[in-house]
Amino acid sequence: MFYKFLHHDLTYGLLLHWKRCIVTFLMFFCLSFSHFLTLRIYELIHPEFFDAPVTTADYFFAMAGGCGQPEILDGAPSFFSIPTSWAVFVLWILFACLYYPFVELQGIGKQLMVLSGSRWIWWLSKCVWAVVNTMVHFLLALLSSMACGLLLGAKPGMQANSYVALELQMRMDRLTSTTTWDMGAVFLFFCFSLVAFALMQLALSVVIRPVFSYLAISAYLFAGIYLQSPCFLGNYLMPARYDLLTGTGVSTGQGLLIFVWLIALSILLGGLCFCHMDVLGGTSD
C-alpha cells in the first residue's frame, strides 16, 4: 500500500508539476548568468586569481553559496549585503515543497488514506515525496547553473576556484585553500541540509498552516545570515560558511549529526501530530 501512495505522490506531486521544474531550471540559469558579469570585473581588478580556468562549479557556488561570516567592527562602515541569489535559491526550493501534501489531503488523498486505514502510510509517503522533490529541484538548479557556465565558456568540473570567495564576501585570509576546492562533499552536504529543512517545514505545517510554517522558517533562516552560530541552522545552508572552505566556518560533521536528528524528529513528531489531527476540520484533537 505504501508503494501505491508513493507512486501517486511522485506522479501527481512531481511529474505532473513539470512546469514548476521548467521554471526552476530557467530561473537559476538566469541567476547564474550574473556570475559571468561579475567575472568580467574580477578579471580586470584581480587577474592573479585566474591562473586556473573558470569551472562550472564556480557558477553554482557563486549563485547558491551564500556569504561569509559578517564582520562587526565598531566605528567602521559595514559592507555586508544579503546574498540575494542564495535567498532566492533556498526559499524557492522550500516553497516547492510547501502546498502539495495538504492540497492533496483536501482532495483524493483523504479518500485514499481512509481506504488504507493508516495515517502513517500517508505521512511517510509525503515525507519521501518531500525528500525526492527537494533533491530533484536541487539537481535542476545545479544542472541549469552548470549549463549556463558551459555555454559561457567554463570548464566542466567540480573544482571551484578561490576567487569566488571575493564574490561571496568570505575572508581571504581564512580560506582552507588559496587555489581550488573540491566541491563534491560541499554540494552533497548542502543538498542534505535542504532535505532536513524541507522535512522540518512539512512537520511544522501539520501544527500550523503551511504558509505560516514557510514564513517562520524563512525568518529563522534570515536571522542566521547575520549570526554565525550552530543555534541558527541556516548557517548550514551556506556553503561559504562550511569548515571545509574556511577555517572559522561551521562544522559540517556537527551539522550532519544535527540534521540526522532533525530529520528523525520531524518524521516522528510530524507523524504523531498528524495522527491526532482532525482531517475534516484541519485542527488538532
Q: What is the pLDDT of residues 47-63, one digit of tens each?
A: 655 566 788 998 999 89
- pLDDT above 80: residue 25: yes
User: Cα–Cα distances in Å, from 165 out to 34, 145, 241?
Assistant: 15, 18, 10
| pLDDT recorded at residue 98 | 87
At residue 200, φ and ψ (nearest 5 deg) are: -65, -40
- Whether the predicted pLDDT of 110 surpasses 80: no
Q: How high is the pLDDT of residue 186?
A: 93
For the chain, give the percent of residues with pLDDT over 70.
88
Identity of the residue numbered 115: L
- Cα–Cα distances in Å, from 141 out to 48, 160, 187? 30, 17, 12
Element (H, E) at 102: helix 100-105
Q: What is the pLDDT of residues 156-202, one digit of tens each?
A: 989 888 878 888 888 877 888 877 888 999 999 999 999 999 999 99
pLDDT at 80 over 70: no
pLDDT tens digits, one per residue of 202-223: 999 988 888 999 999 999 988 8
Query: In this model, does residue 28 exceed pLDDT 70?
Result: yes
Residue from 188, 87, 182 nearest 142 by CA: 188
3-class DSSP state of 63? helix
CB 130 within 8 A of CB 198: yes
Nearest to 197 by CA among 280, 68, 98, 115: 98
Residue carrying C-alpha cell 573544482: 159
Task: Tell me: pLDDT of 75 over 50.
Answer: no
Is the model's pLDDT at 284 over the cut of 60? no
In this prediction the pTM is 0.88
Residue-averaged pLDDT of the chain: 84
- pLDDT exceeds 50 at position 283: no
E strands along 172-244, which residues?
180-182
Helix (H) or strand (E) holding 245: none
Q: What is the pLDDT of residue 109?
A: 66
CA dist., res. 191 & res. 239, Å (int): 10
pLDDT value of residue 173: 77
AA identity, residue 36: F
94, HSE (Cβ side, Cα atoms, 13 Å)? 31
User: Is residue 43 scored above 70 in pLDDT?
Assistant: no
> Which of helix, strand or coil describes residue 229?
coil
Cα 123 from Cα 45, distance rounded (Å): 54
Percent of the chain exceeding pLDDT 90 equals 38
SS3 214: helix
What's the distance, Cα to Cα, between the start and end of the chain in Å? Answer: 26
Using CA atoms, how far apart are residues 90 and 78, in angstroms rounded to an integer?
Answer: 25
* pLDDT(281) > 60: no
Confidence band for 103, pLDDT divided at 50, 70 and 90? confident
Each residue of 116-170: pLDDT tens digit?
A: 777 888 889 899 999 999 999 999 999 999 999 999 888 998 988 887 888 888 8
pLDDT at 256: 94
Region 79-83: what's the mean pLDDT?
Answer: 71
Among candidate residues 230, 227, 241, the one with its CA nearest the CA of residue 186: 241
Inter-CA distances, 163 with 21, 49, 138, 181, Å: 31, 6, 24, 11
Residue 177 exposed, middle or buried by CB count within 10 Å (0-12, 13-18, 19+): middle
